[in-house]
Amino acid sequence: MQKGAPLLIFTLILIGAVCLIFGASLYFLRYIAAGRRLLFARVGVAAFDILGIGSLILFIRNAFMHGWGAAVAFLIILFFTAQCITLAAVVAGVTLRYLRRRLLAAPYDPARRRMLTGAAAYPAAGLLLSGYGAFFERLHTVQNNYTIPIARLPHEAEGMVIAQISDMHLGPYFSVEDFEQLLGEVAARGADLLAVTGDLFDDERQNEAAAETLAAHVGDYSNGIWYCIGNHEYYHDGRRIVNAMAREGRVHVVLNGAKRVAGRSIYIAGVDYPFARGDGFYAEKTAVFKAAMADVPPDAVTVLLAHHPEFIDDAAARGNVPLTLTGHTHGSQFGFLGLPLFPVFKYTRGMVRIGDNYGYVHVGNGSWFPLRIGCPPEIAFFRLERKREQ
């Protein structure tokens, strides 16, 4: 599959999802409006979905996501998210009312009002929740701390702290200034090593400045900054920037290879992003993992950096890769009680344990979709400790 194909697939999926939401919204409006208000509401929703979402798709396809185009896109996303939340709430309200009537064996009365009680609260809640996700949660980064027990951890690496950031997605909703602020927050905590697991370089206007900003912070970490590539580095001249960064050498770029961490007696390995689909995905994934580990001694403790989370399985099967740091999924950007609302990946968010091996799926620090609910951006810290014999 060509590397540009995922954008086409995403566009087609987006159009299909919008059509489904459009039809469902027109139908379920009957439960929160009636008479002329229902007519006006349906006309308004139809106009917004056709014109607004159509404009958004055109903006994305034509890379017009900057300046006033980005501002308009932000408002479209905000209100469409509010529409989706309102639709979900109305469906839940109608379902609960139906179940309550069935459980109470209440006779059906066609004269009863179809509209839900407190109907106006549903769109109000949708707007408030989407506004919270756009203007508060996505802008407030949390810090998550983990202790990783590792058998045979070299004494030189005991107590070592690795910080991870991921998926910044430079663009209209995450600037170089935002990146500088994020790096400052990480440095203030005092980690030994910073791992960046891809999808930083996503805007040709800002890529070079971001690379220089990242390199300028190398001195904040006694064991340096380590970078693995993500899929978005292939879309907006990011691969050229990563190659230049690797040649320059201040940031350790690990691409289908591994390097020994000076003074720590452990290795950091990194893999490319596998673009193949179907069985080809697993074949490509296996090949790049094998290449990354080719020069690592069999008994050497290794930390793997991989953008795609399914490399967690390869690392666990290898045996000497007790920690794998990944990203890509954004944690689905919507969650509830710490769980992803859309778990479309095998591993979508948080810590995965397979035997004595740990994998972590970072929720990301930025996104091209400027809204998060129940899934705030994070900085993850991992303290390596020697596993004590039982």
For residue 7, the model assigns a pLDDT of: 57
Residue 112 corresponds to which tokens in the numbers above? 């009863």
CA atoms within 13 A on the CB side of 66: 10
pTM score over 0.75: yes
For residue 91, the model assigns a pLDDT of: 93
pLDDT digits (tens, 9 = 90+) for 147-167: 999 999 999 999 999 999 999
- Radius of gyration of the CA atoms of the chain, in A: 24
For residue 1, the model assigns a pLDDT of: 47
Domains identified in the chain and CATH numbers: 4-136 (no CATH), 143-386 (3.60.21.10)
What is the biggest distance separating any 2 CA atoms in the chain, rounded to whole angstroms? 79
User: Which of 325, 304, 192 has the alpha carbon at shortest distance from 257?
Assistant: 304
The Cα–Cα gap between 223 and 379 comes to: 18
Give per-10-residue mean pLDDT for the chain (390 aa): 57 77 90 90 90 71 66 88 93 88 70 70 93 96 97 95 97 95 96 97 94 97 97 92 95 97 95 91 95 94 98 94 97 91 92 96 92 97 88
For residue 110, the model assigns a pLDDT of: 55
Asked if 14 and 57 count as a contact pair (C-beta separation under 8 A), the reply is yes
Which amino acid is residue 258, in one-letter code?
Answer: A
Residue 295 corresponds to which tokens in the numbers above? 């020069």
| Token pair 């810590």 in the structure block, residue | 351
